[in-house]
Every structure is written in structure tokens, then in C-alpha cells.
A and B are shown apart, each in its own frame.
Chain A
């Protein structure tokens, strides 16, 4: 349990001369549910996108099981297959059905047989309550349904860590619940997750590690009790007080 799956050291990211992340340090162990909170523009998405190498960090290191992901010979595509990502805007493949969305990565990236991939896809679609919709195309689904399919698609790769970037922010309030319910269940089953969210109840009740970001740095981090019950920094209190009411 003690080995870090992901370890981030002094991570930096600039867009041109605009410093978006500086000196980010944190690590994730197996089974951890880490939530990242903070105001808009504080660099939460950028951090997540750096972890998944959708953005190239400008400095610092990201270690995956102790291996530098920037090293020569480290396969970024293999790494991405093990570190899944769920986006705010779902990003389902619009040319494929729900079932195909959940199979294509298994077949093309992991090299699984179709039958095996289908079985696994169905297993995870059932988990997120979307099994009845296997023949639907993404455009025929509601936002909450799309997001649950996107989660199933990521799970079907059986990642070691799953990253969520504000998975409920694009959803109507009544659909937020159905997605959060799935995420709570995954957390309860021991899936390692890093979740950027504005859902404070989720951060407080589900995660075991909360990271508060502001202006591209980690301002304060700790257990949910540390952050929500006894925040040490004024900025953290400020931020939270805006959410509590």
C-alpha cells in the first residue's frame, strides 16, 4: 500500500511567458482518492492534463511507479492506457456506438479479442447503469448518460489511476447526482482517482486527500478534516466559505 503510483516533483508549466503551474509536489498511492479544488484559472485542469501528458510540462518530474515519464524509452501511449481520463466535455467518439466507444481502446491499444473486449465493456457499462444503451450513439444521450459512458470507456481500459476533470460541471443539476453516485461507488471499490471538482460534498465525504490550489501553486493540502474543518490558510477559508453557503 505504501508505494506511490504517481509522484509529482516540482512540476512547472508555462504557456509562453504565462506561468500556470509552479513547484507542484504531491503523490498518489494505490486506493487514494485525491480531490483538487480551487477557483477557476488556478491551474487544476492544466495539472491534470500534465499528468496525462496532454500538455507537456515545462519543468519538474512526473514519476509513474518510480519511472520518469519523460525518460527516453518510456512509452507515453502505454502510460496513458494505464492512466485514464474523464473530461468535462465527455469527448465520446461520435462515430461509434456506446458499446464501440468502450471496446475500441481495448481492441486497438491493448490488443484484446473482440469477444473479450465486448464482455468487459458490457460489465463496466452495467456498472455505470448504461448497459441498456449499448446501441445508442453519443448524440442520442443526455449529458449525464454520456458522462457515465465516458467513465465506462475509461474503466474498460482497467487503468491504475483515473483522472476526472470536473466531470459534472457541464451537467444539469439533476444529472450531477447520477454521475457522482457512480464515482462514489468506484471510490468505495478502491479505484485510485484524482478528481478536479467543485462538488465540495464529494471532496469532503469521498476523498482521503484534498489539494487546494490557487494561482498555480498548492496552497494547502491534507485530509478532508484538515481542509474542511481546520483550514490553516486564510485563502482556503475564503474559498470554502464561498461554497458552504
Chain B
């Protein structure tokens, strides 16, 4: 046991700041990837739920069908293959095909975003479809177009409903970005590999790595729960009046005005 603690101290003394730096990189790539993935997911989800009408011109329906096919292909491709394979495929593929060496950071951010986007697209689509169609009709009835309805009414509600899944994706990303070490991205797991490469203290280094991952994921889920609570707002509201009659429901405090609709025309 003493030996174990000694080992931990040794690893930490040698690589403490690298671990923290690796953890920071893990957090950044996971957070940016999750946010970018959400944006991609909302984009894809919104396009996939554009309603088509028999009255729409043919070109519009054709374009929409083609775009939807491409998006479906994207979702299937990135959900159906491991991120570790996607990483090498994209990183080395770009070099082969375009004769261009991607930097590690943009490559890492791109891979995580595009991968998260594929998962989020399905989540968002489900979130949008779960909103009561009456909300859409209410928006249409006051003259909103599809885009305005989405931005003002549907997406805010869908977003609230899928926060748990977004959080879940974020936590999965914190863990799964460890595969980015195959393209030498200096995340937490990469630091662990460098530390054991030099010190051969596998168990000690793994313990530190595990602990840091756990702290990050537990903190993330606590913060997300807080955000959820905040978004739900107060359970109470203030009546904007000093008129006590207003506290009773109904028209008791309601006196018809002398002004008529015509005054406002």
C-alpha cells in the first residue's frame, strides 16, 4: 500500500501538470464537440422535419428528398462506425486524398463534432416530433412561417426536453474522446500513456486517470441538473397587480373598457 501511494506521488510529481493539462484538453474538446454537435443536430433535425405539401413545386420536393437522403446517410455512417476508426479514417484520409496535413486540434474538434452531430440529429428529430402539434398550429395561426415557428416555439421546447440527452452525450464525449489519442491528441488518456511510457507505473497512473475522469463526469452531470432546474423557472409567478380581486379567477376584477378595438385601428 505504501508502495502504491509512493507510486502515485511519483507519477503526480512528474506528470501532475500534464494530467491537468490533458484533462483540460479533454474538457475543451468534449464541450466544443458537444455544442457544435448540438448545432449540427438541430440543423439536421430541423431540415428533416420540414413538412412537404403536395402543393409545393416539384423542385422543392426533389431537393428536400435528396438533402434528406444525404442527411440520413450521414447519420447512419457516423452512428454505425466507431469513433476511433472515424478518427484515423479522417485524419489520415485527408492527408492521402487532399495532400493536406490537418493539425491535431482542428482534426479532433471536427471528429467529435461530426460524430456527436449524428447522434444529436436523431435526438433532436425525436424532440421536435414530441412537441404537441397544437403548438405549431398556434404559431401558424398568427402568421409565423416554418422557420419562425421552429426558432421561437418548437426548438426552445424541444431543447428543454432533450437537455438530459445532451448532458448524456457530453458525458459520453468526456470518456470517448480518449480514442483521439490515436491521432496523438494530447487529452487525459494520452497523458496517461506518456506517463506509463516513462515511469512504467501502470496501475498508479491509471488510478489518477480514472479519478480525474470521474471528477469531470460527476461534476458535469451535477451542473447539467442545475441548468435543467434553472430552465424550468419558478414554480410561482407574481401577479402584476395590487388589486386583490385579481387573485380570484374569473372576471371579478374585469371591467370592460370604454375604449374599443377601433381606437387601435
CB within 8 Å of B: which residues of A? 52, 54, 56, 77-82, 84-85, 87, 89-95, 97, 104-105, 108-110, 120, 123, 126-129, 131-137, 140, 142, 144-145, 150, 153-155, 157-158, 174-175, 177-178, 181-182, 185-186, 189-191
Is A108's CB under 8 angstroms from B240's CB? no
* Closest-CB distance, B128 to chain A (whole angstroms): 13
Q: Spot the interface stretch: B17-25, B32-40, B252-260.
A: B252-260
Query: Is the CB of B96 closer than 8 A to any CB of chain A?
Result: no
* Cβ–Cβ < 8 Å partners of B238 in chain A: 135
* Cβ–Cβ < 8 Å partners of A93 in chain B: 135, 138-139, 152-153
List 18 interface pairs A-B (beta carbons < 8 Å), by A numbering.
A54-B137, A77-B144, A77-B145, A80-B142, A84-B142, A87-B138, A91-B141, A95-B153, A109-B142, A132-B243, A133-B239, A135-B240, A150-B138, A157-B143, A174-B250, A177-B251, A178-B251, A186-B261
* Cβ–Cβ < 8 Å partners of A104 in chain B: 142, 152-153
Interface Cβ pair total, 8 Å cutoff? 123
Query: Is the CB of B53 closer than 8 A to any CB of chain A?
Result: yes
Categorize the interface residue count of chain B: 35 or more
- Give the contacting residue for B240; candidates A110, A132, A191; CB below 8 A: A132
Is A129's CB under 8 angstroms from B142's CB? no
Q: Which chain B residues in 230-250 approach chain A with CB under 8 Å? A: 233, 237-241, 243, 246, 249-250
CB within 8 Å of A: which residues of B? 53-55, 134-135, 137-145, 148, 152-153, 156-157, 160, 233, 237-241, 243, 246, 249-251, 253-254, 256-257, 259-262, 264-265
* Closest-CB distance, A121 to chain B (whole angstroms): 12
- Give the contacting residue for B143; candidates A92, A109, A126, A178; CB below 8 A: A109
Residue of B nearest to A52 (CB): B141
Is B257's CB under 8 angstroms from A127's CB? yes
* Closest-CB distance, A6 to chain B (whole angstroms): 15
Bound-state CA distance A71–B160 (Å) is: 39
Is B257's CB under 8 angstroms from A126's CB? yes
Is B264's CB under 8 angstroms from A94's CB? no
Is B137's CB under 8 angstroms from A87's CB? yes
* Cβ–Cβ < 8 Å partners of A78 in chain B: 143
Residue of A nearest to B156 (CB): A95
Bound-state CA distance A142–B247 (Å) is: 13
Is A191's CB under 8 angstroms from B135's CB? no
Q: State whether A108 and B148 are in contact (beta carbons under 8 Å apart), knowing that A54-B140, A153-B142 are contacts in the complex.
A: yes
* Cβ–Cβ < 8 Å partners of A158 in chain B: 261, 264-265
Residue of B nearest to A92 (CB): B138
* Closest-CB distance, A84 to chain B (whole angstroms): 7
Residue of A nearest to B241 (CB): A132
Bound-state CA distance A14–B105 (Å) is: 58
Is B134's CB under 8 angstroms from A89's CB? yes
Is A190's CB under 8 angstroms from B262's CB? yes
* Cβ–Cβ < 8 Å partners of B265 in chain A: 158
* Cβ–Cβ < 8 Å partners of A144 in chain B: 249-250
* Closest-CB distance, A65 to chain B (whole angstroms): 16
* Cβ–Cβ < 8 Å partners of B262 in chain A: 189-190
Q: State whether A140 and B251 are in contact (beta carbons under 8 Å apart), knowing that A80-B140, A104-B152, A157-B143 are contacts in the complex.
A: no
* Cβ–Cβ < 8 Å partners of A129 in chain B: 250-251, 253-254
* Cβ–Cβ < 8 Å partners of B251 in chain A: 129, 177-178, 181-182
* Cβ–Cβ < 8 Å partners of A110 in chain B: 143
Is B144's CB under 8 angstroms from A105's CB? yes
Is A135's CB under 8 angstroms from B138's CB? no
* Cβ–Cβ < 8 Å partners of B139 in chain A: 93
Given contacts A123-B264, A189-B262, 6 further A-B contacts (CB under 8 A): A78-B143, A89-B134, A105-B144, A109-B143, A110-B143, A157-B142
Bound-state CA distance A108–B240 (Å) is: 25
Residue of B nearest to A70 (CB): B55
Is A135's CB under 8 angstroms from B237's CB? yes
Is A81's CB under 8 angstroms from B142's CB? yes
Is B260's CB under 8 angstroms from A137's CB? no
* Closest-CB distance, A98 to chain B (whole angstroms): 9
Q: Which 6 A-B pairs have the closest CB atoms?
A: A81-B143, A129-B254, A91-B138, A105-B142, A132-B246, A85-B141
Most chain B CB within 10 A, of A105, A132, A134, A190, is at: A132
Residue of B nearest to A107 (CB): B152
Is B138's CB under 8 angstroms from A132's CB? no
Residue of B nearest to A153 (CB): B142
Most chain A CB within 10 A, of B240, B241, B243, B257, is at: B240
Q: State whether A95 and B157 are in contact (beta carbons under 8 Å apart), knowing that A84-B142, A132-B241 are contacts in the complex.
A: yes
Bound-state CA distance A242–B256 (Å) is: 34
